[in-house]
Amino acid sequence: MRMLISLLLIGSLVLSQTYEAGDIISETHQNQVFDICYGDYPTDDFRLSDLNGALNGGDYYIILLDMATTW
Protein backbone atom coordinates (compact mmCIF):
# COMPACT_ATOMS: atom_id res chain seq x y z
CA MET A 1 0.00 0.00 0.00
CA ARG A 2 2.84 2.39 0.83
CA MET A 3 4.46 1.62 -2.52
CA LEU A 4 1.25 2.51 -4.37
CA ILE A 5 0.85 5.78 -2.47
CA SER A 6 4.51 6.64 -3.13
CA LEU A 7 4.11 5.97 -6.85
CA LEU A 8 0.95 8.08 -7.03
CA LEU A 9 2.65 10.95 -5.21
CA ILE A 10 5.74 10.84 -7.45
CA GLY A 11 3.56 10.56 -10.56
CA SER A 12 1.50 13.58 -9.59
CA LEU A 13 4.64 15.65 -9.02
CA VAL A 14 6.18 14.61 -12.33
CA LEU A 15 3.01 15.27 -14.33
CA SER A 16 2.12 18.58 -12.69
CA GLN A 17 1.67 21.61 -14.93
CA THR A 18 3.83 24.72 -14.75
CA TYR A 19 1.15 27.06 -16.05
CA GLU A 20 -2.62 27.19 -15.83
CA ALA A 21 -5.20 29.34 -17.60
CA GLY A 22 -4.58 33.03 -16.95
CA ASP A 23 -0.96 32.69 -15.84
CA ILE A 24 1.76 34.98 -17.18
CA ILE A 25 4.71 33.26 -18.85
CA SER A 26 7.95 33.91 -16.98
CA GLU A 27 10.71 35.92 -18.63
CA THR A 28 13.00 32.87 -18.48
CA HIS A 29 10.49 30.81 -20.46
CA GLN A 30 9.87 33.71 -22.86
CA ASN A 31 13.57 33.70 -23.75
CA GLN A 32 13.72 29.99 -24.65
CA VAL A 33 14.81 29.57 -28.28
CA PHE A 34 12.70 27.53 -30.72
CA ASP A 35 13.75 26.63 -34.26
CA ILE A 36 11.61 27.84 -37.15
CA CYS A 37 10.91 24.80 -39.30
CA TYR A 38 8.17 26.20 -41.53
CA GLY A 39 6.75 29.57 -42.48
CA ASP A 40 7.93 33.11 -43.01
CA TYR A 41 9.78 34.56 -40.02
CA PRO A 42 12.57 37.18 -40.06
CA THR A 43 15.09 34.99 -38.19
CA ASP A 44 15.93 31.28 -37.96
CA ASP A 45 14.84 31.04 -34.34
CA PHE A 46 11.82 32.18 -32.35
CA ARG A 47 11.35 33.37 -28.77
CA LEU A 48 8.08 34.33 -27.14
CA SER A 49 9.90 37.49 -26.01
CA ASP A 50 9.90 38.52 -29.70
CA LEU A 51 6.18 39.21 -29.19
CA ASN A 52 6.49 41.00 -25.83
CA GLY A 53 6.80 44.77 -26.25
CA ALA A 54 8.44 45.17 -22.84
CA LEU A 55 11.30 42.96 -24.08
CA ASN A 56 11.45 43.59 -27.85
CA GLY A 57 11.63 47.37 -28.00
CA GLY A 58 7.96 48.36 -27.84
CA ASP A 59 6.12 46.22 -30.41
CA TYR A 60 3.29 44.51 -28.52
CA TYR A 61 1.40 41.53 -29.94
CA ILE A 62 -1.55 39.47 -28.76
CA ILE A 63 -1.03 35.74 -29.18
CA LEU A 64 -3.13 32.66 -28.61
CA LEU A 65 -1.27 29.49 -27.71
CA ASP A 66 -3.17 26.32 -28.50
CA MET A 67 -1.45 23.12 -27.54
CA ALA A 68 -3.15 19.87 -28.39
CA THR A 69 -2.13 16.28 -28.74
CA THR A 70 -3.63 13.05 -29.91
CA TRP A 71 -2.83 10.26 -27.51
pLDDT in tens, 13-63: 666 667 777 888 899 999 999 888 877 888 888 999 999 999 999 999 988
What pLDDT sits at residue 30? 92
What pLDDT sits at residue 69? 73
Q: For residue 67, is pLDDT > 90?
A: no
Q: For residue 10, is pLDDT > 90?
A: no
Cα torsion 61, 62, 65, 66: sign: negative
Q: What is the dihedral of CA 38, 42, 43, 45, to 10 degrees?
A: -50
Q: For residue 65, is pLDDT > 80?
A: no
